[in-house]
Structure 1
Amino acid sequence: MGRLEVEVETKSSADKIWEAIKETPTLFPKIFPDRYKSVEVLEGDGKNVGSVLLMNFVESTPGVTFSKDRIDEADEATKSLAYTVIEGEILAVYTTFKAKLQVVPKGDGSLVKWSLEYEKANEEVPEPNFIKDFATQTFKGLDAHFQN
């Protein structure tokens, strides 16, 4: 089992970033049209445990056109969320793909902590650093959106 971690400091408040993350289906395709074609809620409300989201990515995302993600944990009090990719091209190369994120207040801004646990399908599969970059750019992009 491999693990990647990212921490992104934002000028936006933890509440603002957390609310945006909960509104992924409506906000992300608007804020990031260069990454997300659409985000659909297939099951649940898209914010709570058991919800399933279908993320449709633009062609520029390397080798990934969609992923179906299930929310495994959602905690308002700690502003944290955990999800597992349950369907998509990524599972052909990584047999396990589970992410966690938490938004922590820090001064006037916040700190977004994101981690990924993954298991490679075989030894030739590279580390999924592209997803680490994707997450970092997303959180920085959210912050920039709110700062404008």
Structure 2
Amino acid sequence: QPELTLLHYIFTPLLLHPRASSMASTAEVLVAVKSSPDRFWEAIRSSTELFPKVFPEQFQSIEIVEGDGRSAGTVRLLKYAKGVPLATFAKEKIEEVDDASKQVSYSLIDGELVSFYKNFKANLKVEPNGDGSQVKWCMEYEKANAEVPDPDLVKETAANTFSALDEYLAKN
């Protein structure tokens, strides 16, 4: 049983007393990186092994629960490092992968964020951009109720992760 985070104590009363139903929303993060599309895409595709190594302050581990870790149908368990504000763990399912267009879609199926969002799906696409790439990360989510705040911290974390990954790739 994962330990409860501060978010549990903040959001649990709100979840128990919803005031209004919510509708699906979308949000997008665009990050320009210096890495080539092929190099950045391969790093994303290798995130199961790479992210805990590159980002030990964020990821304790990423484990493959089902599948091969790279193709549609794969289920991964992300265990976050102590001190990560969003959650202690998340389980995600890779829904679609298109290596030709450098695009992957996944959905959140377990973890603390499931308490806050009825649905949470994300799509990541790496596109050429000048001498580097543009990383486009879109999420579609439905809040559990109207009191749940917008996922600004999730967006900020995604943007910071892509920038830090680009810095890592430039040095390695």
What TM-score, normalized to structure 2?
0.84
Instruction: Pick from 118, 121, 139 the counterpart of residue 95 of structure 1.
Output: 118
Per the alignment, residue 110 of structure 1 pairs with 133
Per the alignment, residue 49 of structure 2 pairs with 26
After TM superposition, give the deviation of residue 59 of structure 1 in Å.
2.4
Amino acid at match of 1:46: G
Which protein shows a greater Rg?
A: 2
1:3 aligns with 2:26: yes
Quote the Cα distance in structure 2 between the aligned partners of 1:63 and 1:142.
20
After TM superposition, give the deviation of residue 63 of structure 1 in Å.
4.0
Aligned residue runs from structure 1 range 132-147, under 5 A: 132-147=155-170
After TM superposition, give the deviation of residue 25 of structure 1 in Å.
1.1
Per the alignment, residue 148 of structure 2 pairs with 125
Matched position secondary structure for 1:19: helix
Deviates more, 1:60-69 or 1:84-93: 60-69
Structure 1 segments unaligned to the other structure (5+ residues):
none
1:60 aligns with 2:86: no
Instruction: Pick from 72, 89, 92 the counterpart of residue 69 of structure 1.
Output: 92
Amino acid at match of 1:3: T
Amino acid at match of 2:90: S
Quote the Cα distance in structure 2 between the aligned partners of 1:30 and 1:43.
21
Quote the Cα distance in structure 1 between the aligned partners of 2:91 and 2:84.
15
Aligned residues: 148
Per the alignment, residue 12 of structure 1 pairs with 35
1:135–1:63 distance in 2 versus 1, CA, 3 Å: closer
Amino acid at match of 1:25: T
Query: Whose strand proportion is higher, 1 or 2?
Result: 1
After TM superposition, give the deviation of residue 122 of structure 1 in Å.
0.7
Aligned residue runs from structure 1 range 41-52, under 5 A: 41-52=64-75
Amino acid at match of 1:93: F
Work out the percentage of aligned pairs sharing the same amino acid.
47
Structure 2 segments unaligned to the other structure (5+ residues):
1-23
Runs of 4+ in 1 over 4 A off after TM superposition: none
Matched position secondary structure for 2:68: coil
RMSD across aligned positions (CA): 0.8
What TM-score, normalized to structure 1?
0.97
Matched position secondary structure for 1:143: helix
1:86 aligns with 2:112: no
